[in-house]
Chains A and B, each alone.
Chain A
Amino acid sequence: MNDNRACFLRGMKDGIPIATGYFAVAFTLGITARSAGFSAIQAMVASLTNNASAGEYAAFALIAAGASYLEVAVMTLVANARYLLMSCALSQKLHPSIPLGHRLLIGYDVTDEIFGISVARPGYLNPWYTYGAMAVAIPGWGLGTLFGVIMGDILPLRAVSALSVGLYGMFLAIIIPPARKSRIIAGLVAVSFAASYAVSRFSLLDGISSGMKTILLTVVLSLAAAILFPVKEEEQQHDA
């Protein structure tokens, strides 16, 4: 019992820098949600139930364009597909005796950051450590989104324009450091930029929504990379 309490407190401590980062990023996400027609409360509920930056952003952008529920579901699936891999890795960190209830709870907040600190714990993971981090990080994420929607109404256009690139800055901070370490990822990122630009300029594809273009590009390019450059086990370990 004492051990669980200590783990929870340690998780809360490690969750503080995550929460502050979340607040800032979620703020820019709130601006996107507002432009998709979400109220402040709706955007906060979306963040509290999703806890996914890229996935939420992609869905908001699609909703803003009037996409169908199915398109939003497929986009969410693709944008968050990486969590499937993270959860697979995290399942190896849970003692086989950990009951279903704990597995259902941990699964609520497998984000890049929470996964990162959880998988880095020595030995089997005590779920209470992850709960401690979640208890701090999730409110930061939800409140950031809430304030993003509210302040987005008040802020001048100049400031909204500046804040709207914050999320892209965060995306770059996720993809560029691994690209520095791996020439394959660097090449893949460059090809993705070029392909995305080409598709956006190719007028024959105007009938396809931008979200569907993202889905198709992701599946095609990732699959091509997986076939051409299968990943060795050691490389995947760096990704945590």
Chain B
Amino acid sequence: MTHNIWLYILVMAAVTYLIRVTPLVLIRREITNKTIRSFLYYVPYVTLAVMTFPAITEATQTPLSGFLALAAGIVLAWVGVSLFGVAVVSCLVVLIAEFFLV
């Protein structure tokens, strides 16, 4: 079962573009259905949370260093550190932790 990477890219790009452009082209009025609005509102939080854990503990050389990066990321984001800052410090935590763990 071999897959063509260019075809994957085409599928990804087409789906992503349609999601973005369809409302801009078709919808000139606001969506009023409360459940649909709420569903769309919650989707990013659930998707990103599900993709982050436990995957972050599996991406690193040791689960503990990934877990420490998760804890640091949550604390920093909680106190309002920027997106870029949280990403950089998470990386540094893993780098430092793995000097001791690996």
Contact = CB atoms under 8 A, between A and B. Distances in A.
B73 A55 contact: no
Contacts of B16: 49-52, 55, 76, 80, 83
Nearest to B5: A42
A164 B57 CA distance: 11
Contact of B84 (A20, A90, A189, A229): A20
Contact of B52 (A69, A168, A235): A168
Interface residues of A, number: 101
Contact of A231 (B19, B41, B48): B41
A175 to B, nearest CB: 5
A108 B90 contact: no
Nearest to B83: A173
A120 interface: no
Given A161-B65, A163-B91, A164-B59, A87 B13 contact: no
B12 A24 contact: no
Contacts of A72: 8, 11-12
Nearest to B26: A91
Interface in B14-37: 15-17, 19-25, 27-28, 30-31, 34-37
B24 A106 contact: yes
Contacts of B98: 158, 161-162
A13 interface: no
B1 to A, nearest CB: 7
Given A24-B87, A162-B94, A85 B41 contact: yes
B3 A192 contact: no
Nearest to A194: B53
Interface of B: 1, 3, 5-9, 11-13, 15-17, 19-25, 27-28, 30-31, 34-56, 59-61, 65-66, 69-70, 73-74, 76-78, 80-95, 98, 102
30 contacts: A25-B84, A28-B91, A42-B5, A49-B13, A54-B44, A59-B12, A63-B5, A66-B1, A73-B15, A77-B19, A83-B19, A83-B20, A84-B19, A87-B21, A165-B59, A167-B87, A168-B90, A169-B69, A169-B87, A172-B74, A172-B86, A172-B90, A173-B82, A173-B87, A180-B78, A196-B51, A222-B46, A223-B39, A226-B38, A231-B42
